[in-house]
């Protein structure tokens, strides 16, 4: 079951790349892939046996993380938009005139991508730290241990040695891959509003 996550990530990637049409089959497939990811998230979240009150205490940190990501995405859209005309012209000149893209443009775009990647990493690190702090303040030792031990670290980083990982490293992985998954928030909201707990 722990390898399901990797399979789902690959499936999402392949489907997103290979499917550009808006057919009914594609909609059904995308919806099913989303539900499969929800199942995987539930497979990680339900064993923590979080109470409704615990989930309520975690949601504000996750909501802040979601806001931070949306701000970051808006900033990226602005940055990318600044070069849209240059990129469009370079594509058209390449197709219509056979012009090789300008090296300065390519360097500028490469620098932009590197900058956005560093910013994303910083936002992700801050969000992970904040949600991890909330989890440590809210969940008991057994729940934290279950979260930290639920994922196979090698699925995410092939060179990692799981036996050398500290508990905080394992919990950080769980926060990054499970708690901060965009679909996890909706699941947690429904879990805390539902009949159980």
81 belongs to a structural domain: no
Domain that holds residue 16: 4-72+122-193
Cβ count within 10 A of residue 117: 10
111 belongs to a structural domain: no
14 belongs to a structural domain: yes
Any residues with CB less than 8 A from the CB of 98 and at least 6 apart, and which? none
155 belongs to a structural domain: yes
117 belongs to a structural domain: no
CA atoms within 13 A on the CB side of 57: 13
* pLDDT for 16: 56
Indicate whether 22 pLDDT > 80: no
Q: What's the token pair of residue 168?
A: 């905080």
* pLDDT for 197: 52
95 belongs to a structural domain: no
Any residues with CB less than 8 A from the CB of 79 and at least 6 apart, and which? 112, 115, 116
Domain count across the chain: 1
Query: In whole angstroms, what is the distance from residue 197 CA to residue 186 CA?
Result: 17
Cβ count within 10 A of residue 96: 8
Cα 90 → chain centroid: 32
The secondary element (H helix, E strand) that includes residue 83 is: none
148 belongs to a structural domain: yes
Is 159 in contact with 147 (CB distance < 8 Å)?
A: no
Confidence of residue 3 (pLDDT cuts 50, 70, 90): very low
Q: What is the pTM of this model?
A: 0.81
* pLDDT for 120: 96
100 belongs to a structural domain: no
pLDDT digits (tens, 9 = 90+) for 116-140: 999 999 999 999 999 999 999 999 9
Is 127 in contact with 62 (CB distance < 8 Å)?
A: no
* pLDDT for 128: 98
């Amino acid at each position: 079951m722990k390898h399901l996550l990797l399979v789902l990530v690959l499936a999402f990637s392949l489907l997103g790349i290979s499917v550009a049409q808006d057919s009914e089959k594609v909609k059904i497939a995308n919806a099913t892939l989303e539900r499969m990811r929800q199942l995987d998230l539930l497979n990680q979240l339900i064993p923590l046996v979080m109470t409704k009150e615990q989930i309520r205490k975690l949601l504000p940190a996750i909501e802040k993380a979601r806001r931070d990501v949306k701000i970051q995405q808006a900033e990226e859209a602005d940055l990318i938009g600044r070069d849209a005309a240059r990129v469009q012209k370079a594509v058209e000149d390449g197709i219509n005139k056979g012009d090789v893209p300008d090296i300065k443009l390519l360097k500028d775009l490469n620098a932009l991508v590197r900058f956005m990647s560093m910013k994303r990493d910083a936002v992700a690190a801050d969000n992970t730290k904040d949600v991890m702090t909330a989890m440590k303040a809210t969940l008991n030792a057994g729940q934290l241990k279950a979260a930290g031990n639920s994922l196979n670290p090698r699925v995410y980083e092939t060179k990692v040695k799981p036996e050398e990982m500290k508990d905080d490293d394992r919990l950080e992985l769980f926060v990054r891959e499970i708690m901060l998954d965009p679909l996890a928030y909706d699941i947690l909201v429904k879990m805390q509003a539902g009949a159980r707990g």
